[in-house]
Amino acid sequence: MPFDRTIDVRIGHLRRRLSNGVTDGKQLLKTVRGAGYMLASEVTYKDLAV
């Protein structure tokens, strides 16, 4: 039975694009074993009041 690696390949492409220019070694996309993937990034809020 062949194993479909489409998701793995797409996640690899996405990881490369997200890390483009980032040199601190942090991954923005983490693998959660048995669950899937998680965006791991610090959240900052800006006050958009005019």
- What are the pLDDT digits (tens) for 7-40? 889 999 998 888 776 667 678 888 999 999 998 8
Q: Name residue 30's beta-bridge partners.
A: 38
24 φψ region: left (φ > 0), alpha (ψ -120 to 50), beta (else): alpha
Question: Comparing C-alpha atoms, which of 35, 19, 17 is closest to residue 27?
Answer: 19
Output the pTM of the full model: 0.61
Residue 39 · residue 28 · CB < 8 Å: yes
User: Which is more confident, 43 or 22?
Assistant: 43
